Amino acid sequence: MLKIDSVGLTVSAVPLLDNISIDCPRGSVTALMGPNGAGKTSLLKVISGEHKASQGRVEINRQSREEWKPADIAQFMAVLPQSSTLEFAFTSEEVVALGRTPHATGTVRDAEIITAALAKVDASYLAQRSFVQLSGGEKQRVQLARVLAQIWDHFEYEGEYEGEHEGDAPTDGILLLDEPSAAFDLAHQLMLIDIVQQISARGVTVVMVMHDLNLAAKCADQMVFMNCGHCTAVGTVTELLTPELIKKVFSVDAEVITHPVQGTPMVVV
Amino acid sequence: MKVLNTRLITPRLCGLLLLIALPLVSLLGLMTGPVFIPLADILSISLSGDGGNSQEKLIIEIIRLPRVILSLLVGALLATCGALLQGLFRNPLADPALIGVSAGASVGASIVIVFGSMFTAGGLLLGLSAISVGAFAGAIIASVIIFRLATGPQGTSVATMLLAGIAISALAGAATNTLSYLADNDMLRRISLWQMGNLQGASWDRVGLCALTAAFLAVLIPREAGALNAMLLGESEARHLGVNVEWLKRRLIIYSALGVAISVAVAGVIAFVGLMVPHVIRLLVGPDHRALLPLSALAGAILLVAADALARVVITPAELPVGVVTALLGAPFFLWLLVVQRRRT
């Protein structure tokens, strides 16, 4: 679904990314992790098309990133930035409605989706509130509802998914999240994980930048450790969450234990 | 806990109120002036083609009616362009002056006034005096320079545009001042009166020119409402929502430069309509451009007709420049806005 092939990025003579290759199959969850300035957001911006790769290429649905028109790609790919500055007093509902901008599904269907998206992120009670007056976590939840509304038709469909192979259906969704949980309280961090698992199970490919290793371990199919613009390691959660790699990438001494109930690896510092 | 966001009225109600106010204010505009014309006479003149006395009929047909219609059109253009630019700059305090149109127009008009003898041979162009043509040219040249300065290989940076707009406006201000210094007393008076804006020069030709521009923009601008809403989230967010941001910015700059340049050419610099009207509408019905743009046009039209009527009666038989009236109303409002915004953050 999404293929990053030896991507390099240099902005004003500063190399930000070097030879990154990651393959994200349909319905997979990829967590980009690493210290500040490792290039996680830059990589996300190359995928989202904000930066043009200096070397290599990004392929979305077997088509080069540059060949996609903004209006076409917005049909199935949504991007949640780290933070947003909205100076105008839209209500939360109107902010979520902006997620329907690329679609012509009609006001009735859009209204349904907006209500459902707000409910999904536990923000129904914010619908009529002015976005500018919300707290940081509430704003981020409303923005999450907005990007979910944008790709809603790609995971809330009736009946079973019909296409079997990757790339068969051009309508598979892609969701890019940049530190989505940074402003969330504990309950909403778990809500986010739940949503990511739900939508990826229904075919949406998710790539997210995360700082919390344990949170990422709960839902990531693959982890990518980045450092200084390089890709240090790519693999499953169990492959990457080792004291040696964590020391190498984050310069932190950590223990990795097994979750007593779920059996997933847990990082303890 | 902050209170619930309650908008004062729905867009539909706001539109209804403005549509009721528009003919009432227009009638008021037809009635007022150095010669008061009673409502009954206006109605009989407009309904039967005669009635009233012939002097009143002449005043209405040749002076007041084109003037009221021109005010409607200029007010609508200024307010709509203000709303467009506030959306483009994602700043509710943006104003058409930001893209250098007003300052450029002042230079253009001043050049014609000071070196006017060279231009008089040309006569009138589409009902515009040489001063108006100069103002229009100055406005377009200034906004093109600012746009070019702000556009690089990465696209157009609205932040650079803001700074370039300030610098070019300062430069244009210096040029206007130099011209004022060179000017004799009569020219000086004309320059400063022009800069205050007035609708005295209203004629059917100017109404036609403005109506053509307004009709052109009225077809094109509403199509951008959805994209403008997305732009309020941020340029990259708009891009991710499928908006071709670079082309959108270009179109918005062209539309607003054209709208403001035409207004400045026919009526001089009229301050604060472009800033104030969209802001008030946003306070009333929220920032959705699908409602904001048409409602701003209506409210801008009403405001300018009312301000112009006021300008005609305050110091009769003379009249105040309408730009002075809008600034007198606008400046205190702007200050109030600043105070309120500061308290909110």
pLDDT tens profile A91-137:
999 999 999 999 988 899 999 999 999 999 999 999 999 898 899 99
CB contact at 8 A, A172 and A205: yes
- Would an 8 Å CB–CB cutoff place A255 in contact with chain B? no
pLDDT tens profile A138-164:
999 999 999 999 999 888 876 554 544
From B254's Cα to the closest Cα of chain A, the distance in A is 22
Count of beta carbons in the 10 Å neighbourhood of residue A267: 19
Contacts of A90 in chain B (CB under 8 A): 232, 286-288
Count Cβ–Cβ pairs < 8 Å, chain A vs chain B: 81
Closest CA to A64 of A50, A53, A78: A53
Report the pLDDT value the prediction gives residue B123, as an integer from 0 to 100. Answer: 55
pLDDT tens profile A2-23:
999 999 999 888 999 999 999 9
Report the pLDDT value the prediction gives residue B344, as an integer from 0 to 100. Answer: 60
Question: In the predicted model, what is the mean pLDDT of chain B?
Answer: 85
Give burial (CB, 10 Å; 0-12/13-18/19+) of B340.
exposed
Report the pLDDT value the prediction gives residue B132, as an integer from 0 to 100. Answer: 84
* Closest Cβ opposite residue B226 in set A50, A75, A101: A101
Contacts of A80 in chain B (CB under 8 A): none
Q: List phi, psi (to 5°) of B55.
A: -65, -45
Between CA B93 and CA B275 the distance in angstroms is 7
Contacts of A50 in chain B (CB under 8 A): 236, 239
Helix (H) / strand (E) containing A208: strand A205-209
Q: Give the strand pairing for A2-11 and A14-24.
A: antiparallel
Closest chain A residue to B242, measured at CA: A71
Q: Is the bond preceding B34 in cis, omega lying within 30 degrees of 0?
A: no
pLDDT tens profile B102-129:
889 889 988 888 887 655 545 555 556 7
Say which DSSP state A183 is in.
T
pLDDT category, B1, cuts 50, 70, 90?
very low
Report the pLDDT value the prediction gives residue B212, as an integer from 0 to 100. Answer: 93
Report the pLDDT value the prediction gives residue B3, as an integer from 0 to 100. Answer: 41
Which tokens in the block code for residue B312? 């005609």
Residues contacting A52, CB < 8 A, separation 6+? A46, A66
Give yes or no for residue B345 having a pLDDT over 70: no
Average pLDDT over residues A174-196: 93
Report the pLDDT value the prediction gives residue B78, as an integer from 0 to 100. Answer: 94
Closest chain B residue to A84, measured at CA: B233
pLDDT category, A195, cuts 50, 70, 90?
very high
Closest chain B residue to A82, measured at CA: B237
Q: What is the dihedral sign for C-alpha B341, B255, A49, A15?
A: negative
Report the pLDDT value the prediction gives residue A61, as an integer from 0 to 100. Answer: 87
Which tokens in the block code for residue A23? 């393959």
Between CA B135 and CA B108 the distance in angstroms is 4
Which tokens in the block code for residue B50? 């005669």
pLDDT tens profile A215-233:
999 899 999 999 999 999 9
Report the pLDDT value the prediction gives residue A159, as an integer from 0 to 100. Answer: 54
Question: In the predicted model, what is the mean pLDDT of chain A?
Answer: 89
Contacts of A79 in chain B (CB under 8 A): 236-237, 240
Type of residue found at B170: A
Between CA B47 and CA B179 the distance in angstroms is 49
Q: Give the strand pairing for B151-152 and A265-268.
A: unpaired
Distances (CA, A) of B241 to A71, A248, B236: 7, 38, 9
pLDDT category, A166, cuts 50, 70, 90?
very low
Do B234 and A78 lie within an 8 Å CB cutoff?
no
Q: Model pTM? A: 0.87
Do B233 and A95 lie within an 8 Å CB cutoff?
yes
Between CA B108 and CA B191 the distance in angstroms is 11
Give yes or no for residue A190 having a pLDDT over 90: yes
Report the pLDDT value the prediction gives residue B127, as an integer from 0 to 100. Answer: 54
pLDDT category, B153, cuts 50, 70, 90?
confident
Which of A11, A46, A101, A148 best probes binding to B when mutated, by most B CB atoms within 10 angstroms? Answer: A101
Give yes or no for residue B277 having a pLDDT over 60: yes
Residue whose pair of structure tokens reads 């320079």 in the numeric block: B145
Give yes or no for residue B52 having a pLDDT over 80: no
Do B5 and A133 lie within an 8 Å CB cutoff?
yes
Report the pLDDT value the prediction gives residue B109, as an integer from 0 to 100. Answer: 87
- Would an 8 Å CB–CB cutoff place A77 in contact with chain B? yes
- Would an 8 Å CB–CB cutoff place A75 in contact with chain B? yes
From B217's Cα to the closest Cα of chain A, the distance in A is 22
Contacts of A78 in chain B (CB under 8 A): 240
* Closest Cβ opposite residue A94 in set B243, B245, B288: B288
Do B242 and A70 lie within an 8 Å CB cutoff?
yes
* Longest CA pairwise span in chain B (Å): 69
Closest chain A residue to B283, measured at CA: A89
CB contact at 8 A, A33 and A216: yes
- Would an 8 Å CB–CB cutoff place A41 in contact with chain B? no
Give yes or no for residue A234 having a pLDDT over 90: yes
Report the pLDDT value the prediction gives residue B226, as an integer from 0 to 100. Answer: 93
Report the pLDDT value the prediction gives residue A170, as an integer from 0 to 100. Answer: 47
Average pLDDT over residues A207-221: 92
Average pLDDT over residues B256-270: 89
Q: Give the strand pairing for B155-156 and B151-152.
A: antiparallel
Q: pLDDT > 70: what percent of chain A? A: 95
Tell me the three state secondary structure of residue A215. helix
The arrangement of strands across the sheet holding A63-64 comes to A14-24, A2-11, A55-60, A63-64
* Closest Cβ opposite residue B287 in set A72, A89, A133: A89
CB contact at 8 A, A63 and A167: no
Helix (H) / strand (E) containing B126: none
Report the pLDDT value the prediction gives residue B2, as an integer from 0 to 100. Answer: 40
Between CA B234 and CA A198 the distance in angstroms is 28
Q: Give the strand pairing for A230-235 and A222-227.
A: antiparallel
The answer for A 116-175 residues in CB contact with B (under 8 A) is 128-130, 133, 150
Which of B4, B5, B284, B289 best probes binding to A when mutated, by most A CB atoms within 10 angstroms? Answer: B5
Contacts of A71 in chain B (CB under 8 A): 242-244
Do B240 and A48 lie within an 8 Å CB cutoff?
yes
Type of residue found at A231: C
Which of A44, A84, A87 best probes binding to B when mutated, by most B CB atoms within 10 angstroms? Answer: A87
Between CA B171 and CA A224 the distance in angstroms is 53
Q: Residues, chain A, total?
A: 269
Report the pLDDT value the prediction gives residue B118, as an integer from 0 to 100. Answer: 57
Closest chain A residue to B236, measured at CA: A50
Helix (H) / strand (E) containing A21: strand A14-24
Type of residue found at B299: A
Report the pLDDT value the prediction gives residue B211, as an integer from 0 to 100. Answer: 94
Closest chain B residue to A174, measured at CA: B240
